[in-house]
């Protein structure tokens, strides 16, 4: 039986790579649903190639254009965020790959879990904002969440076969991004063009900026906490510029397992979709002879304050990670529009964390409200 896949965010970096993986493995997977935010040309092209049952475009203004592009096909077409949230409930979906950007992934992921769909999770913000709640729902509905993020896939792979053996700690590796080794004076004048040049990974704009500020690693720490049931003090970040060791787990006997490979998102995407199977690929293989030196450094928390803020939010828990995430999304967007400088992103996040109402045990409605209010406040800080 082929796995029938819904891809939320099919025109983004993870979405397009997932379609490549699926195209290379037609005996294992078929596409049931594709959704995109705005890019109707690419969505229509993907729909024509993969012939899903349904496509959804988030931007309702693009519905007519998309319909015109697909007018001689039998593919069902819907528009709007509500349609995306509902489409994941379709009976004919086996697994939902959540690859949209940011907070927008939350409600569709929750709906998919509630209707019993397994999740291949590429949208880390979902667990950052509502990790506790999402994990409870997944447990209740007997749904598995397979990580697509390369670090979390690495940890997940290290845990295969370990049964109830407890984790002592995990080591999340970070490339350090394009500004590794730079000090605050440099960062103050860093441009978005340079911030968008990641040394190892090809990714979308939002996550690439998050990698440059190290916020991405902070979001990943929070994501890991919920995925693997850890306390914040069990999560360590190590800068590893070559991005070959994708992360590691230390067990209670002192043994450490790491997962290695070339930096290529297609591997964790494939593993999340094919688990527990490993499917044969012709992806380029890692060779020690090409990497005679693998190096490791402590993260520079003085220059890259966002990582510290994320750990602070993780410690405080409640709605604080939601505040952190909303402020960060607004800050990154403002930086990408040249409205604020690189270090001012930190100011926006820090002030939002100080100013917004803290809720120790938020329900989903509280988180939705926190997200909205934080966005408004963060925007008010940006002139």
- Which residue has the CB atom at the shortest distance from Mg ion? 149
Would you say 150 or 250 has its CB closer to Mg ion? 150
Nearest to 31 by CA among 40, 39, 22: 22
Check binding of 149 to Mg ion (CB under 5 A): yes
Supply the DSSP symbol for 277: -
Q: Choose the stretch contacting Mg ion; rule: CB under 5 A; options: 59-67, 142-150, 167-175, 318-326.
A: 142-150
Q: How far is the CB of 357 from Mg ion (least distance, A)?
A: 30
Backbone torsion region of residue 192, taken as left when φ is above 0, otherwise alpha when ψ lies between -120 and 50, otherwise beta: alpha
Which range, of 18-26, 149-157, 260-268, 275-283, touches Mg ion by CB under 5 A?
Answer: 149-157
| 284 token code pair | 């380029």
Of 275 and 377, which has the nearer Cβ to Mg ion? 275
Q: Which stretch binds Mg ion (CB under 5 A): 34-42, 146-154, 241-249, 293-301?
A: 146-154
Q: Which of residues 150-179 bind Mg ion (CB under 5 A)?
A: 150-151
Looking only at Cα atoms, what is the longest distance across the chain?
Answer: 62
Q: Tell me the CA distances in angstroms from 338 to 213, 214, 333, one per residue in order.
A: 16, 19, 9
CB of 191 to Mg ion, least distance (A): 23
Q: Which is nearer to Mg ion, 53 or 208 (CB)?
A: 208
Q: Shortest Cβ distance from residue 366 to Mg ion (Å)?
A: 28
| Nearest-angstrom CA–CA distance, 84 and 205 | 22
- Compute, in degrees rounded to 10, the torsion defined by CA atoms 62, 65, 66, 70: 170
Q: Which residues does 9 contact at the CB level (< 8 Å), separation at least 6? A: 15, 35, 36, 37, 98, 99, 100, 101, 105, 122, 123
Q: Whose Cβ is closer to Mg ion: residue 104's or residue 211's?
A: 211
Nearer to Mg ion, 219 or 330 (CB): 219
Residue 219 C-beta: closest distance to Mg ion, Å: 9
Residues engaged in binding Mg ion (CB under 5 A): 149-151
């Amino acid at each position: 039986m082929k796995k029938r896949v819904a891809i939320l965010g099919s025109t983004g970096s993870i979405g397009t790579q997932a379609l490549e993986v699926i195209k290379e493995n037609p005996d294992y997977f078929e596409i049931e649903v594709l959704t995109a935010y705005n890019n109707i040309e690419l969505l229509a092209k993907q729909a024509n190639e993969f012939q899903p049952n349904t496509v959804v475009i988030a931007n309702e203004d693009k519905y007519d254009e998309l319909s015109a592009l697909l007018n001689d096909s039998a593919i069902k077409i819907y528009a709007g965020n509500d349609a995306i949230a509902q489409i994941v409930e379709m009976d004919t979906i086996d697994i939902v790959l959540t690859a949209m950007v940011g907070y927008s992934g939350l409600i569709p992921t929750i709906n998919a879990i509630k209707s019993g769909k397994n999740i291949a999770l590429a949208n880390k913000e979902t667990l950052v904002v509502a990790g506790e709640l999402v994990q409870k729902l997944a447990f209740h509905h007997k749904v598995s969440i397979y990580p697509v993020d390369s670090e979390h896939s690495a940890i997940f792979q290290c845990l295969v076969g370990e049964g109830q053996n407890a984790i002592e700690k995990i080591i999340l590796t970070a490339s350090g991004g394009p500004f590794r080794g730079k000090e605050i004076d440099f960062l103050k004048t860093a441009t978005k063009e340079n911030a968008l040049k990641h040394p190892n990974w090809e990714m979308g704009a939002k996550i690439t900026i998050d990698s440059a500020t190290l916020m991405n690693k902070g979001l990943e720490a929070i994501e890991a906490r919920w995925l693997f049931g850890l306390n914040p003090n069990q999560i360590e970040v190590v800068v590893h510029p070559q991005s070959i060791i994708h992360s590691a787990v230390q067990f209670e006997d002192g043994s450490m397992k790491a997962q290695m490979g070339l930096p290529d998102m297609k591997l964790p995407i494939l593993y999340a979709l094919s688990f527990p199977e490993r499917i044969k690929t012709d992806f380029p293989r890692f060779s020690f002879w090409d990497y005679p030196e693998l190096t490791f450094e402590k993260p520079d928390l003085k220059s890259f304050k966002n990582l510290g803020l994320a750990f602070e939010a993780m410690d405080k828990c409640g709605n604080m990670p939601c505040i952190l995430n909303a402020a960060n999304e607004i800050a990154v967007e403002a930086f990408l529009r040249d409205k604020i400088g690189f270090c001012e992103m930190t100011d926006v996040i820090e002030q939002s964390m100080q100013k917004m109402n803290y809720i120790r045990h938020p329900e989903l409605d509280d988180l939705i409200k926190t997200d909205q209010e934080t966005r408004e406040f963060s925007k008010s800080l940006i002139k």
